[in-house]
Amino acid sequence: MSEDGSLHIGWASRDVTPKGKVNLAGQFRMRIATEIRDPLSVTALAVSSQNPEDSFIFVSCDTGAIGTPFIEKSKKIIKAKYKDFPLDKLVLNATHTHTAPDLREGHYNYEALTDEEKKDLLYPRENIEFLSDEIAEAAIESWNNRKPGMLAWGLGYAVAGRNRRAVYLEDFSKQPDYKEFPGQKIEKNACMYGKTDNPFFSHIEGYEDHTVQFLFTFDMNKKLTGSIINIVCPSQETEGISQVSADFWHEVRMLLRKEYGEKLFILPQCAAAGDQSPHLMFNKKAEQRMLELKGIDSRMAIAQRIKAAFDDTYPYAAKDMKNDLQLKHICSEINLSKRAVNEEEYKKNLEWIKQFQTMQLTSHQERCFARCKAVVERYENQQKGIFPKQPVEIHVIRLGDIVFATNPFELFLDYGLRVEARSPALQTFIVQLAGKGVDRGGTYLPTERAEAGGSYSACVYCNEVGSKGGQELVEETLKTINGLWEEK
């Protein structure tokens, strides 16, 4: 390595497509996938200055989520293979595809599967072993591959994420054909993926952000080697299929590599998008007609928009390459206020538990039953005075004029916007589902208005941390960012 203080950049990737059939995470029901629609990837980017303390290693994974036990296992493997690896500078993030293997032991009831379904099935423990080892290899390789290089950044736009929460004029309990969903969601006057042709429909709950943030990497000959692509959308356009898939990131990789070279590294990041998805809430028939006229599907349409943003941004960003700039990485643990369970929610779940106890449960119902019991346990602990704050890990990385800020949640967009709007950085890359945090299943972090409306993503089943904790996250993140800009 040179002694001139310039940046050193290394890339690596691994194909992490499962070698056998798996249960796919992301839905309440079990989905046994026996087919591969397209490959899954792990992509690692290591960047350091002359001082290894000023470094980061991003590892993006085509998976649904990255839990604390999984992160710890990956780090343990890295430590065993490379004792001097800077583990505190490692950041794992998930693209949040809903068509990747289940990595959570005890989350689904595998005993309920038929003998045929169990035959040759890869269980979560095997999936964890395989993926954590590949992550470790990619992280180490990217670190070892570091060479002097240059960076550039830019901002573009591509329509990908849409707010997926519909709000209604009256509570559902006052509407005809009202139905409850024990253990799945508690709805008031909002619904994730709610029908917009309902006569009680009022509006879409929140904002949409079509910004695409790019960090481009180059070798010292100014050749493009890779890019971080940060969008406000999880990769779940085809989330309900029973095939292994990276979703629209597969098409993005395919299009960009065709244009810029097969060796181009693509590292996807999902910004604050807990209330976003690629699905339309209305105009669905008109959109489908246009796709058919174009001869493409919705995944390709999203990928084409992302590539168009890349094509529009890259040549101009490349005019301002840098290889000697400030790099500072802070990893900290913060404690956030949890969402309390109220008495009404407690009593309702007690009733639903009694109902479940009289039923022959499907795999979907077993998950709902477990969620009801977890809410009751939370309330009873509250009554005993057991209501600790939730510790979570955040990373804040200053890289010249830009900054990366991570969180482990499916973070509602408003929180990301609050950080971006108040940040002193030229560009602020929010990275959700990254780092250690909530592992019980309540990874959504909704806004106060979403909590008031309820439904999946904004009810007690889905939230360990509530809106108060969300604002605490905003303030702590900004405090760290501002501190980096105040340093001399």
- The C-alpha atoms of residue 443 and residue 54 are separated, in whole angstroms, by 30
Q: If we measure between CA atoms, which residue out of 479, 483, 467, 39 comes closest to residue 246?
A: 39
pLDDT at 387: 87
Residue 107 · residue 370 · CB < 8 Å: no
- The C-alpha atoms of residue 452 and residue 443 are separated, in whole angstroms, by 18
How many CB atoms are located within 10 Å of the residue 434 CB? Answer: 27
Specify the DSSP element, H or E, that contains 163.
strand 162-163
Residue 270 · residue 96 · CB < 8 Å: yes
Q: What residue ranges do the domains of the chain occupy?
A: 8-160+207-332+390-486, 341-383
- The C-alpha atoms of residue 436 and residue 351 are separated, in whole angstroms, by 34
- The C-alpha atoms of residue 155 and residue 108 are separated, in whole angstroms, by 40
How far from 142 is each of 6, 59, 253, CA to CA, in Å? 17, 9, 19
The beta strand positions in 271-408, using DSSP E, are 276-277, 327-336, 390-399, 402-406
**pLDDT tens profile 109-141:** 898 899 999 999 999 999 999 999 999 999 999
**pLDDT tens profile 199-237:** 999 999 999 999 999 999 999 999 999 999 999 999 999
Q: Report the chain's mean pLDDT, rounded to a whole number.
A: 95
pTM of the model: 0.96
For 220, residues 6+ apart whose C-beta sits below 8 A from its C-beta are: 147, 148, 149, 150, 323
pLDDT band (50, 70, 90) for residue 3: very low
What is residue 436's three-state secondary structure?
coil
Average of per-residue pLDDT across 323-350: 96
Q: Is residue 295 left, alpha or beta, with left meaning phi > 0 and alpha meaning psi from -120 to 50?
A: left
For 142, residues 6+ apart whose C-beta sits below 8 A from its C-beta are: 10, 11, 12, 44, 45, 46, 57, 59
Which residues are registered as beta bridge partners of 328?
A: 398
**pLDDT tens profile 299-321:** 999 999 999 999 999 999 999 99
**pLDDT tens profile 136-194:** 999 999 999 999 999 999 999 999 999 999 999 999 988 888 889 999 999 999 999 99
CA dihedral (233, 239, 244, 245) in degrees, to 10, reads: -30
Return the structure tokens found at 224: 């493009």
